[in-house]
Structure 1
Amino acid sequence: MNGLEIRELECFLVLAEELHFGRTGERLYVSQSRVSQLLAALEQRIGARLVERTSRRVRLTMLGERFLAELRPSYDELAATVRRAREAARGVDGTLRLGFQGTADARLMAAIAAFQERHPACVTEIVEIPFADPFGAVRHGEVDTAIVLLPVEEPDLVLGPVFSRQEQTVAVSVRHPLAACDSLTVADLERTTLIAATAPAPAYWRKAQAPSSGEALEVRTLQEGLTMVAAGRGAMLLCRPTASYHGRRDVVYVPVEGVPDSVLGMVWHRDGETERIRAFARALAAVE
């Protein structure tokens, strides 16, 4: 590690992506000859060639391939450590893009208010994310973090505070035979068509929102599902707060027994954690 130059490592990493000295220089804002100098210095430090260069192509040596595989995760972690330290030093500012599914309940709104009061330099943007794509907005960088219905079994996502455990209801048309029941059971769900999210929501998540082995109709949005319910096409499982928020005269919400409670959780991408996200997670966890 004696005399290790970060610029040499950065040059090698970019060159390994571009396999072109000119484009590498453009990305690093240095000349092509400077790229050659940095690479030569790194190869001299290591004691072997990392890159083979001919008049027609550039490619990594076997040692270069192995060095790249070991260097990349270490460099990324180092860069993330520096980024986190910089964010912590300057405080929480900028913009936090927060996604939510269905209904932004009272606890979420209280957490947003507490976060804004504690960090006035950070603007919170609240975005509704699709019912049928709970994790896509986080993965595609459209939001920094999202409040989604559990379960969450995505290896690239971090599950933060879990909250808002609520009893489930079944939304049915006022004309549906189950509308007159005081409560329903899992057996009742097995005898009716349930309405569930379509892909890209993962299969395990869709199954949790429509826990029946019977026929299911798939929808993309919550409003699309409620419209199908009102038309008598099927029944839809909803938590009590969402049912209350989306009350309508042509739909009845009947309590259901024997199914797990609805639970919300905060998720973010494992590679995209920031001080803003951590600060909001603390605010959300602190709300009673």
Structure 2
Amino acid sequence: MSGLEVRELECFLALAEELHFGRAGERLYVSQSRVSQLLAALEQRIGARLVERTSRRVRLTPLGERFHAELRPAYAELADVVGRARESARGVAGRIRIGFQGTADARLMEAITTFQKRHPGCVTEIVEVPFADPFGAVRQGDVDAAIVLLPVAEPELVLGPLFSRQQQTVAVSVRHPFASRTSLGAAELADVPLISAAAPAPAYWREAQAPSAVPAPAVRTLQEGLTLVAADRGAMLLCRPTAEYHGRRDVVFVPVEGVPDSVLGLVWHRDGETERVRAFARAVAGAGSADEGASAA
């Protein structure tokens, strides 16, 4: 590692991807001759040729191919380490985009308020996450983190603090036989068509929200689901805060015993974890609890 020049490595990586000295120079904002100089210095440091250049083509030598395959992930990790150190040195600033699924209620707003007080230099944006696509915004980078309904089994996502644990209720039409009940057991839902989310929500997530073998419509939004419930086209499992928030005269919400509670969690992409995300996770952990929290379907 003695005397290693990062610029030489950057030059080699650009050349390995472009296979053209001129384009590599454009990427690095240096001249073509400077690319040749940096490559020559790196090859001298290693003691072997990494690139073969003729009048007609540029290609990596076998050693160059192996070196590129090992260098690229190592350089990316090094860049991440530097980026994280820079964020820590600067503190939490800039902008953070937070997604929410369901209802941005008082508990979520408490977490955001706490975060803003701790980090006034960071602007918080709130984005609603589609009911039928709980993880898409995080995977695509549209939000930095999102509070979504569990479970989460996406390998590229990190599950942070849990934000809510609430009893489930079943939404039924006022004309439904269950409408007059004060509570239901899990076994009684076995023969009830439960409205679920449509794709692209993953199958395991859809099944967790609608654990019934009876065919029922799939919807993209929560409002679509409640409209079908009111039309007596099926029932829908919702946590208690969501049921209270979306109360309507043509739908009854009946508590259900014996089914897992509805739980929300903060998730973010494994490759997108920043000091801002970690700071917001701490605010969520302080504002939420296992017994009360934000609302979601």
Question: In structure 2, the residue corresponding to 1:55 is in which secondary structure?
Answer: coil
Is there any run of 5+ residues in structure 1 with no aligned partner, and where? none
Check 1:8–1:216 CA distance in 2 against 1; reply closer, same or farther (3 A cut): farther
> Equivalent residue for 1:71?
71
Map 1:97-176 onto structure 2 (within 5 A): 97-176=97-176
Check 1:228–1:65 CA distance in 2 against 1; reply closer, same or farther (3 A cut): farther
1:10-66 C-alpha deviation (Å, 9 max, x unpaired): 122222222222222111111122122222222222222222333333333332222
CA contact (8 A) 2:9 2:42 kept: yes
CA contact (8 A) 1:107 1:164 kept: no
Q: CA deviation at 1:6?
A: 0.6
Map 1:227-242 onto structure 2 (within 5 A): 227-242=227-242
> Equivalent residue for 1:20?
20
Check 1:89–1:231 CA distance in 2 against 1; reply closer, same or farther (3 A cut): same
Q: CA deviation at 1:250?
A: 1.1
TM-score normalised by L of structure 2 = 0.92
- Aligned CA RMSD, in angstroms, stands at 1.4
1:158-177 C-alpha deviation (Å, 9 max, x unpaired): 11111210000111111122
Q: Distance in 2 between matches of 1:128 and 1:99?
A: 5
Residue correspondences, number: 288
Question: In structure 2, the residue corresponding to 1:64 is in which secondary structure?
Answer: helix
1:153-212 C-alpha deviation (Å, 9 max, x unpaired): 111111111121000011111112222222222222221111111111111111111112
> Equivalent residue for 1:211?
211
Q: Distance in 1 between matches of 2:19 and 2:212?
A: 53
> Equivalent residue for 1:286?
286
Letter in 2 for 1:106: A
Check 1:119–1:41 CA distance in 2 against 1; reply closer, same or farther (3 A cut): same
Q: CA deviation at 1:142?
A: 0.7
Check 1:57–1:213 CA distance in 2 against 1; reply closer, same or farther (3 A cut): farther
1:104-155 C-alpha deviation (Å, 9 max, x unpaired): 2332211111111111111100000111111111111111111111111111
Letter in 2 for 1:86: R
Is there any run of 5+ residues in structure 2 with no aligned partner, and where? 289-297
TM-score normalised by L of structure 1 = 0.95
Q: CA deviation at 1:272?
A: 1.0
Q: CA deviation at 1:67?
A: 1.7
Q: Distance in 1 between matches of 2:285 and 2:252?
A: 33
> Equivalent residue for 1:189?
189
Q: Distance in 2 between matches of 1:176 and 1:53?
A: 77
Q: Distance in 2 between matches of 1:169 and 1:54?
A: 72
Q: Distance in 2 between matches of 1:62 and 1:221?
A: 53
CA contact (8 A) 2:184 2:255 kept: yes
CA contact (8 A) 2:191 2:213 kept: no
> Equivalent residue for 2:294?
none
Q: CA deviation at 1:218?
A: 1.2
Identity, in percent, stands at 80
Letter in 2 for 1:179: A
Question: In structure 2, the residue corresponding to 1:233 is in which secondary structure?
Answer: coil
> Equivalent residue for 2:292?
none
In the TM superposition, structure 1's runs of 4+ consecutive aligned residues that sit over 6 Å from their partners are none
Q: Distance in 1 between matches of 2:270 and 2:150?
A: 17
1:220-271 C-alpha deviation (Å, 9 max, x unpaired): 1111111111111111111011111111111111111221111111111111
